[in-house]
Structure 1
Amino acid sequence: MYTQSRIAANAYANVGLETGVMAANPHQLIIMLYEGAELSVRMAIRHMNEGDLVKKSAAVTKASTIILEGLRAALDTRQGGDLAIQLDALYDYMGKRLMLAHLKNQTEPLEEVLGLLRELHTAWKQIGATGQAAATPLQHPIAA
């Protein structure tokens, strides 16, 4: 019974997530990527502190995938100019710091990446709050 309830709850959560993604505009999708990356890094720190290396590995991999295949891949260096180039380098740096944390089981690089993600996430939310997101076609230019 518990397993069926859990399966149903997971299915419901997946439908909710898929619906949220389908309904989101490009600006909101970038925010979701930042949130997912932050959560994954926080989970990696937690699992590392608990000594659960398998879960730590999965969380670091997920954070890296979100940053490199989500945020970094969404950059438009032609329209985003210097800002997009700088973000590309920053995402590359974060990927390297995640790898270091993973290989050496160190939380310091994870904390650093988490701080960077928080700063970028906050800035991205502020762009949306000021209405600039609606003024430009978004593709993470930060999507511009």
Structure 2
Amino acid sequence: MNAMAALKQYQTVNTQAQAIEASPHRLIQMLMEGGLTRLAQARGAMERDQVSLKGEMISKAIGIIGGLREGLNLEAGGEVAANLDSLYEYMATRLVEANVQNVIAPLDEVSVLLRNVKVAWDAIAE
């Protein structure tokens, strides 16, 4: 196993261990962090003309946003949850556009939106 494969395996195991021990609040933080990372990776891949990697990273970001959306309790969350649901749907749509049109602007827009949601989430005490 080469060094990069070993590092990737370590990161996977480390992330899984953190997820097992994490509170629900922390799991949402981890999803948001993962989404931001995938968006940055997609942006880099797009800049380097790595079409396959770009598509893979955007797909993972869409999956993470879908996970955040699935975690919403629309009944108990009221207007805030409904607004987040709409925002997450918008983010996913913009990411599809970024992938299909091969443009960076929607990636940056979604990164800003997700970062803003994360800042607000981080401000909430567990």
- 1:112 and 2:109 equivalent? yes
| CA distance in structure 2 between the aligned counterparts of 1:106 and 1:19, rounded to whole angstroms | 35
How much has 1:9 moved relative to structure 2? 3.5
**Gap runs ≥5 in structure 1:** 134-144
Residues in 2 aligned to 1:94 and 1:63: alpha-carbon distance in whole angstroms: 10
Q: Deviations over 1:20-66 (max 9, x none)?
A: 00000000000000000001111111111111111100010000000
Partner of 1:13: 11
Q: How many percent identity over aligned positions?
A: 37
Structure 2: give runs of 5+ residues left out of the alignment: none
TM-score in terms of structure 2 length: 0.94
Number of residue-to-residue matches in the alignment: 126
Query: Where do 1:1-144 residues align within 5 Å?
Result: 3=1, 5-68=3-66, 70-128=67-125, 133=126
Aligned equivalents of 1:14 and 1:46: distance in 2? 21
Q: Structure 1 CA distance, aligned partners of 2:6 and 2:49? A: 30
What is the one-letter code of the residue matched to 1:45?
Answer: R
Letter in 2 for 1:71: L
Q: CA deviation at 1:14?
A: 2.2
- Check 1:54–1:112 CA distance in 2 against 1; reply closer, same or farther (3 A cut): same
Q: Which residue of 2 aligns with 1:141?
A: none
Instruction: State which structure, 1 or 2, has the greater radius of gyration over its C-alpha atoms.
Output: 1
- How far apart are residue 115 of structure 1 and its match? 0.2
Counterpart of 2:70 in 1: which secondary structure? coil
1:56 counterpart letter in structure 2: K
Query: What TM-score results when the alignment is normalised by the length of structure 1?
Result: 0.83
- RCO (CA 8 Å, sep 6+): is it higher in 1 or 2? 1
How big is the shift at 1:18?
A: 1.1
